[in-house]
Structure 1
Amino acid sequence: MHVIVQDGRTRIVLSGEVDADLAGDLAEATTAAEANGLPIDIDAQHVTFMDSSGIAFLARIASRSTKSVRILRAPETVRFLLEVTRIGELLEAVDDDPAGGTPDDAA
């Protein structure tokens, strides 16, 4: 997981399994994103699994942010979770990266 501030937005890049093992990292990412006070992009392109910890993270950041929150390139499994939990109503799902970058570019 990476938190990157670029072009007036905070980007949180998630990859692999987003589960309870990442709870501390997810909390730190939330704190960092909130402290920046910028709109938030969550790049989920490389997420292979997400459990309730990941959904709670998305719900927390989307409901507490005073700026827009977008989830970028979410795989079908994540989109399904957003739909059934209705968390998708709190954020904007974007199929392409509006900035044109990739997580590899930012690292």
Structure 2
Amino acid sequence: MHGVDSGAAAGAGSLHILVQRDELRIVLSGEIDASLTGEFNAAMNEATSSALPVTFDLRHVTFMDSFGVAFVSKIALAAPARPRLLHVPPTVKFLLEVTSTADLVEIVE
């Protein structure tokens, strides 16, 4: 297993990529917005090159804007299977449903 850490300051958004034998796990925390563009690009490259199923862990997300929703959508369209989303906060779930992104992923309750 290896990972990529965005090194974000406390309160800011962060993205960690954990590549495991059977999945690529993307752990998001804090405020998920355009400030994570570099990390989003790295995660997108890893997801498309690994061909592994993608799982998002959103338990520590405090805010997500349309940029974060677009990131989840892009991963969903590029991944070999429907990505799973774990521990989705109610506000993020609402955004995913309103934008129809929820139709592209599996939200695990």
Q: Same fold (TM over 0.5)?
A: yes
Gaps of 5+ in 1: 96-107
TM-score (norm 2): 0.83
List aligned pairs for 1:9-88, cutoff 5 A.
Answer: 9-88=23-102
Number of equivalences: 95
- Hey, which of these two has a bigger chunk of helix by percent? 1
Q: CA RMSD in A?
A: 1.0
Tell me, in whole angstroms, the C-alpha distance in 2 between the residues paired with 1:77 and 1:60: 20
Higher relative contact order (CA 8 A, sep 6+): 1
Tell me, in whole angstroms, the C-alpha distance in 2 between the residues paired with 1:30 and 1:57: 8
Tell me, in whole angstroms, the C-alpha distance in 1 between the residues paired with 2:42 and 2:79: 15
What is the CA-CA distance between 1:7 and the residue it aligns to? Answer: 4.5
Q: What fraction of aligned residue pairs are identical, expressed as a percent?
A: 47
Gaps of 5+ in 2: 1-14
TM-score (norm 1): 0.84
Tell me, in whole angstroms, the C-alpha distance in 2 between the residues paired with 1:36 and 1:64: 11
Flag as ranges the 4+ runs of structure 1 deviating above 4 A: none
Is 1:37–1:67's contact at 8 Å kept on the other side of the alignment?
no
